[in-house]
């Protein structure tokens, strides 16, 4: 069972109304960083297919808060779909193979901007395109 590999995890979700707890995780309602208790710190913060949904102001706010929540040698792991994914999803929606996708919430995000947005507080330690180039993996280390 994949969830048992996680020693302990904390998540935030603006789509939930109350805290949810499992055997090795807790989910807090709200966005990051507002949804996370201020006393918490982490080895790794992940944003999987999240960043492209945020407005530029929200991206800046999150990036500026990240160092406060990361321990020394902490990492930020992000996945961000390539812009071609939006075109594929629009086509699939047009031919009614998918339904309910809110494609407008990607804010025309250019994946090439990630390094600049992360600024000098983070060093890119790993980058990889995967899923036939349709997705991008970034691993940033907290810059001391």
How far apart CA 73 and CA 106 sit, in angstroms, is 30
How far apart CA 55 and CA 94 sit, in angstroms, is 25
Beta strands 135-142 and 70-81: pairing type? antiparallel
pTM of this structure: 0.82
* DSSP assignment string, 27-62: EEES-TTTTS-TT--EEEEEEES-GGGS-HHHHHHH
Inter-residue contact 116 to 59 (CB < 8 Å) = no
Q: In the chain, how many domains are there?
A: 2
The β-bridge partners of 139 are: 77, 126
How far apart CA 107 and CA 83 sit, in angstroms, is 11
- Residues 6 or more apart whose CB falls under 8 angstroms from that of 65 comprise 32, 33
Whether residues 24 and 59 share a domain: the answer is: no
Whether residues 21 and 92 share a domain: the answer is: no
| pLDDT per 10-residue tile (average), the chain, 144 residues | 69 93 92 90 93 89 95 95 72 72 62 91 94 89 89
Whether residues 58 and 34 share a domain: the answer is: no
Inter-residue contact 79 to 135 (CB < 8 Å) = yes
Whether residues 1 and 19 share a domain: the answer is: yes
pLDDT of residue 1: 45
Whether residues 36 and 46 share a domain: the answer is: no
The domain that contains 58 carries what CATH number? 3.40.50.150
pLDDT of residue 134: 83
């Amino acid at each position: 069972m994949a969830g048992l590999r996680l020693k302990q995890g904390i998540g935030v979700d603006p789509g939930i109304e109350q805290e949810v707890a499992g055997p090795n995780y807790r989910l807090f309602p709200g966005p990051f960083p507002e949804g996370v208790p201020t006393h918490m710190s982490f080895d790794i913060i992940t944003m999987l297919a999240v960043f492209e949904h945020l407005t530029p102001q929200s991206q800046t706010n999150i990036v500026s808060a990240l160092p406060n929540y990361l321990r020394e040698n902490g990492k930020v792991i992000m996945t961000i779909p390539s812009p071609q994914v939006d075109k594929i999803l629009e086509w699939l929606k047009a031919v009614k193979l998918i339904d309910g996708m809110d494609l407008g919430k990607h804010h025309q995000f250019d994946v090439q901007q990630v390094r600049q947005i992360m600024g000098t507080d983070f060093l890119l330690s790993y980058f990889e395109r995967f899923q036939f180039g349709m997705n991008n993996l970034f691993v940033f280390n907290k810059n001391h």
